[in-house]
């Protein structure tokens, strides 16, 4: 969480920093700030609230072409101006921005108090970092060395950028478990948490790894290892277009991304099918496949739901047992892994710390890690044994939509590849079927208007449709703030049906013929207790007419592919209920796109 930017160049830094922060707002947006050097002193400007709160009061001037900025997702202390970054050191010689958590900040404060550092203006864990660097800088007068000494004392996770008031020639930075990239320009260089922040300025990028340091000057960038020995780092060329990270005529990123799904799915799949045959070119999979006894999938949130559907399709087509674990709970199962295990990690960002920690445990146990990822060059990509990329393009809206359906595409391809079941033609049809599902938009919009004020919403399904219900419910919760729930329909009568009363709205998924009749019975049960039912189905059956108030019909697919199509009306439903409620869909409260704290 939190976005960091840094700029060292010729003109004033504040416009560059603010532009960079606007592209990182998806990482956190409860407050923001910038700091720049101004005739040998540090000017800090910050504000609680979204970035506009900062820009509306920003004073530009006296800037020496060097600055750092930050957009925050609060961990320690509420979203106030005082707690916003950057943070100045006690004697105002150093200013820092920090992403992550300094776990031993209280012990560090205690230690620093012996040296007269006892003034803190914020409740954050980060402010102590500024004091600590200043403490070391005062004796060495070497900013990189001071950062290094400070880091040696820190426990936790961090991406840090720091400036000194009397060093207009450099920005120093370090990372551990929080991403940092460096953008290379002509006579100017950039630092950021993610590529979109710098893409309008340069496409030449270097990635910093954990425990590495960077020193940015105007003419050169140096990278150092943990012991400050210099490292040569390759320069990568970013080939995607900044336009793909803009709204392109849609009101919100989320709506644009929902509509991009046919393209994203098509690109994810079609590149891997040559002359009608699927070819993933994954050596790891080929070498492990003959002796594979089980697969473990690990992920968080929406990616976890994609994993649940991945489990179903792999079990069905390949006949291998698959377990799916929430990454933050993985520690309890990692001890059972052996070198014969394949762990599949799923992540849009490739920076989710819970997922990263899980694969580190898995690799320590000797297991091999295959990751399904959207972001090329992400930390997970670099720490995995093999990667299967989704081609969703940048996903900016906090609610994951196109990343999810392309993750499903990746799982379908993995299952096909392991089973050799030859269903490539049906796989290729999915993008068009998702397009047809998007044609339900106007109907869904009307239903959303009718239900926007309803606080009692329940999603039901059986088997794979229950997993879709989980994802549908998460979408609605995170952007509409409705306390809804998802249930396996058969489990309802074991307690939760007590919640059903007149006015309860039930959204049900029926895409599997094996469970269709039982679902119809369950829907009749809730209707008998006053619930209204919206059924979403790819199947045709007369009995549903008596069990639902409204039916959304979707194109028929192979049944194990159906979750890719049935989630579409649910995404639209969450979207339009949220907009009916007047909420900020792209940046819902309390959330951040990339979750880099445990
Ligand atoms: O970047 P990741 O896919 O690893 O992120 C995992 C979850 O944080 C993410 O899917 C989250 O649940 C989404 N915001 C939900 O829409």
Cis? peptide before 391, omega within 30° of 0: no
Ligand 1 centroid–CA 467 distance in Å is 15
Residues 344 and 302 in one domain: yes
| DSSP H helices in 96-188 | 105-113, 127-140, 143-153
CATH number at residue 24: 3.60.20.10
Residue among 139, 271, 148 at smallest CA distance from 211: 148
Residue 459 CB burial class (10 angstroms; 0-12, 13-18, ≥19) = buried
What's 323's domain CATH number?
3.40.50.10490
Nearest CA to ligand 1 atom 7: 301
pLDDT of residue 244: 66
Pocket test for ligand 1, best of 404, 595, 597 (most atoms within 8 A of CB): 595
Q: Is position 304 within any domain?
A: yes
What residues make up the domain containing 399? 247-422
Å from CA of 308 to ligand 1 middle? 14
Q: Are residues 548 and 436 in the same domain?
A: yes
Q: Which pLDDT value is given to residue 79? A: 87
Angstrom distances, CA of residue 550 to CA of 502, 517, 536, 544: 16, 17, 9, 10
> 404 and 279 share a domain?
yes
The protein residue with its alpha carbon nearest to ligand 1, atom 14, reads 399
For residue 503, is it within any domain? yes
pLDDT at res. 241 = 66
Q: How far is the CA of 571 from the centre of ligand 1 (A)?
A: 15
Token pair of 350 as six digits = 């490739």
User: Distance (Å, rounded) from C-alpha 323 to C-alpha 336?
Assistant: 12
For residues 550 and 454, the answer to whether their CB atoms sit within 8 Å is no
The protein residue whose alpha carbon is closest to atom 12 in ligand 1 is 301
Q: Could you give the CA distance from residue 143 to residue 163 in angstroms, rounded to a whole number?
A: 8
How far is it, in rounded angstroms, from Cα 564 to Cα 265? Answer: 10
Known catalytic residues?
2, 593
Please name the residue whose Cα sits nearest to atom 11 of ligand 1.
301
How many whole angstroms from 378 Cα to the centroid of ligand 1? 15
Indicate the top mutation candidate among 303, 401, 405 to test ligand 1's pocket, ranked by most ligand atoms within 8 A of CB. 303
Tell me, yes or no, whether 409 and 463 share the same domain. Answer: no
**Where is 284: in which H helix or E strand?**
helix 283-288
Question: Cα(6) to centroid of ligand 1, in Å?
Answer: 26
pLDDT of residue 405: 98
- Residue among 73, 301, 394 to mutate when testing ligand 1 (max atoms within 8 A of CB): 301
Q: Do both 289 and 251 map to the same domain? A: yes
Ligand 1 centroid–CA 301 distance in Å is 5
pLDDT score for 70: 96
Q: Is residue 427 part of a domain?
A: no
**Do the domain assignments include residue 446?**
yes
Q: What is the CA radius of gyration of the chain?
A: 25
Using alpha carbons, list the distances in angstroms from residue 56 to 60, 97, 387, 426, 521. Answer: 11, 21, 43, 52, 57
Domain shared by 586 and 448, yes or no: yes
Q: Residues enclosing ligand 1, CB less than 6 A?
A: 300-303, 347-349, 352, 355, 398-400, 474, 478, 594-595
Give the atom of ligand 1 at the shortest distance from the alpha carbon of 301. Answer: 12
Quick one: 468 and 565 in the same domain?
yes
Written in H, E and C, the secondary structure of 307-370 is HHHHHHHHHHHHCCCEEEEEHHHCHHHHCCCCCCCEEEEEECCCCCHHHHHHHHHHHHCCCEEE
Instruction: Give 283's contacts (C-beta < 8 A, 6+ positions apart).
Output: 386
CA distance 325 to 323: 7
Q: Which of 27, 253, 302, 467 to mutate to test the pocket of ligand 1 (most atoms within 8 A of CB)?
A: 302
What span, in angstroms and rounded, lies between the C-alpha atoms of 485 and 423? 34
Q: Is 163 helix (H, G, I), strand (E, B) or coil?
A: strand
Give, for all 598 residues of the chain, the pLDDT tens digit.
689 999 999 989 999 999 999 988 878 788 999 999 988 899 999 999 989 899 988 877 667 899 999 999 888 888 899 999 999 999 999 999 999 889 999 999 999 999 999 999 999 999 999 999 999 999 999 999 999 999 999 999 899 999 999 999 999 999 998 889 999 999 999 999 998 899 999 999 999 999 999 999 999 999 999 999 999 999 999 877 666 667 778 999 999 999 999 999 999 999 899 888 999 999 999 999 999 999 999 999 999 999 999 999 999 999 999 999 999 999 888 889 999 999 999 999 999 999 999 999 999 999 999 999 998 878 899 999 999 999 998 898 999 999 999 999 999 999 999 998 888 999 999 999 999 999 999 999 999 999 999 999 999 999 999 999 999 999 999 999 999 999 999 999 999 999 999 999 999 999 999 999 999 999 999 999 999 999 999 998 889 999 999 999 999 999 999 999 999 999 999 999 999 999 999 989 988 887 877 7
Total domains, the chain: 3
Q: Measured between alpha carbons, how far is 461 from 452 in angstroms, rounded to an integer?
A: 22
Same domain, 17 and 156: yes
278 neighbors 412 (Cβ within 8 angstroms): no
Task: Locate 417 and state its tokens.
Answer: 């590849």
The residue contributing the CA closest to ligand 1 atom 4 is 347
| Domain stops at, among 401, 422, 443 | 422
Measuring from atom 10 of ligand 1, which residue has the nearest CA? 302
Atom number in ligand 1 closest to CA 399: 16
Q: Please give the Cα distance from 403 to 399 (Å, whole number).
A: 10
With b for 16 or more beta-carbon neighbours within 10 A and e for fewer, the 281-295 pattern comes to: ebebbeebbeeeeeb
75 and 154 share a domain? yes
Q: How far is the CA of 538 from the centre of ligand 1 (A)?
A: 27
Judgement on whether residues 379 and 456 belong to the same structural domain of the protein: no
Decide which of 373, 403, 422 is a domain's last residue.
422
Report the nearest atom of ligand 1 relative to the CA of 349: 1
> Nearest 5°: CA angle at 19, between 16 and 22?
150
In order, the DSSP letters of 502-559 are TT-EEEEEE--HHHHHHHHHHHHHHHTTT-EEEEEESS--GGGGGT-SEEEE-----G
Closest ligand 1 atom number to CA of residue 400: 16
Domain boundary among 422, 450, 475: 422
Which atom of ligand 1 has the smallest separation from the CA of 380? 4
- Please give the Cα distance from 397 to 149 (Å, whole number): 38
Is residue 141 assigned to a domain?
A: yes
Same domain, residue pair 394 and 515: no
Dmax of the chain from CA atoms? 82
Residue nearest to atom 8 of ligand 1 (CA): 301
Which atom of ligand 1 is closest in space to residue 595's alpha carbon? 8
- Residue with token string 């947006």: 29
For ligand 1, the distance from its centroid to the CA atom of residue 190, given in whole angstroms, is: 27
Does 47 fall in a domain? Answer: yes
**Closest C-alpha to ligand 1, atom 6:** 300
- Cα gap 594→5, rounded to integer Å: 16
User: What integer pLDDT is reported at residue 538 of this predicted model?
Assistant: 95
Regarding whether 270 and 220 lie in a shared domain, the answer is no
In the prediction, which pLDDT does 38 show?
Answer: 87
């Amino acid at each position: 969480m939190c976005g960091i930017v840094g700029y060292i160049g010729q003109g004033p830094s504040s416009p560059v920093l603010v532009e960079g922060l606007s592209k990182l707002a998806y990482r956190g947006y409860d407050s923001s700030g910038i700091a720049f050097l101004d005739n040998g002193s540090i000017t800090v400007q910050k504000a609680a609230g979204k970035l506009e709160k900062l820009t509306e009061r920003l004073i530009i001037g006296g800037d020496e072409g060097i600055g750092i900025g930050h957009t925050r997702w609060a961990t320690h202390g509420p979203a106030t101006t005082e707690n916003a970054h950057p943070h100045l050191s006690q004697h105002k010689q150093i200013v820092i921005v920090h992403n992550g958590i300094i776990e031993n900040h209280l012990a560090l404060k205690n230690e620093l108090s012996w040296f007269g550092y006892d003034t803190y203006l914020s409740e954050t864990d980060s402010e102590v970092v500024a004091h600590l660097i200043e403490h070391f800088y005062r004796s060495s007068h070497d900013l990189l060395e001071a950062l290094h000494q400070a880091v040696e004392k820190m426990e936790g996770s961090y991406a840090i950028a720091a400036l000194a008031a009397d060093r207009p020639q450099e920005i120093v930075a370090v990372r551990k478990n929080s991403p940092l990239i460096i953008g290379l320009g002509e006579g100017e260089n950039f630092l950021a948490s993610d590529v979109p922040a710098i893409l309008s300025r340069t496409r030449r990028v270097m990635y910093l790894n954990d425990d590495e340091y960077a020193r940015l000057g105007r003419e050169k960038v140096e990278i150092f290892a943990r012991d400050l020995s210099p490292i040569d780092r390759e320069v990568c060329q970013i080939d995607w277009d900044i336009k793909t990270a803009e709204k392109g005529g849609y009101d919100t990123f989320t709506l644009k991304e929902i509509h991009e799904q046919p393209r994203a799915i098509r690109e994810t799949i079609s590149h891997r099918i040559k002359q009608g045959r699927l070819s993933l070119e994954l050596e790891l999979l080929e070498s492990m496949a003959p002796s594979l006894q089980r697969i473990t999938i690990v992920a968080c949130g929406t990616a976890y739901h994609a994993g649940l559907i991945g489990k179903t399709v792999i079990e069905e087509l390949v006949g291998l047992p698959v377990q799916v674990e929430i990454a933050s709970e993985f520690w309890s199962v990692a001890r059972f892994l052996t070198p014969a295990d394949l762990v599949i990690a799923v992540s849009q960002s490739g920076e989710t710390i819970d997922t990263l920690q899980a694969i580190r445990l898995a690799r320590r146990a000797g297991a091999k890690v295959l990751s399904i990822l959207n972001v090329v060059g992400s930390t997970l990509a670099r720490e995995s044994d093999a990667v299967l990329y989704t081609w969703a393009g940048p996903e900016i809206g906090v609610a994951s939509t196109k990343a999810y359906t392309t993750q499903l595409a990746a799982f379908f391809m993995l299952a096909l590849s392991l089973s050799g079941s030859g269903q490539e033609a049906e796989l290729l049809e999915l993008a068009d079927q998702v397009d047809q599902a998007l044609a339900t938009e106007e109907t869904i919009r009307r239903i959303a208007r009718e239900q926007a004020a309803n606080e009692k919403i329940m999603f039901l399904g059986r088997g794979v449709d229950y997993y879709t219900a989980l994802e549908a419910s998460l979408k609605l919760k995170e952007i509409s703030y409705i306390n809804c729930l998802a249930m396996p329909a058969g489990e309802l009568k074991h307690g939760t049906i007590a919640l059903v009363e007149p006015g309860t709205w039930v959204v049900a998924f029926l895409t599997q013929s094996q469970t269709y009749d039982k679902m119809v019975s369950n829907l009749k049960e809730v209707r008998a207790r006053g619930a209204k039912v919206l059924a979403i189905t790819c199947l045709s059956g007369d009995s549903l007419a008596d069990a639902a108030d409204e039916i959304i019909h979707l194109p028929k697919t192979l049944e194990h592919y159906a979750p890719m199509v049935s989630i579409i009306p649910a995404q639209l439903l969450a979207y339009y209920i949220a907009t009916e409620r007047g909420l900020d869909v792209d940046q819902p409260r309390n959330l951040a796109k990339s979750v880099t704290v445990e």
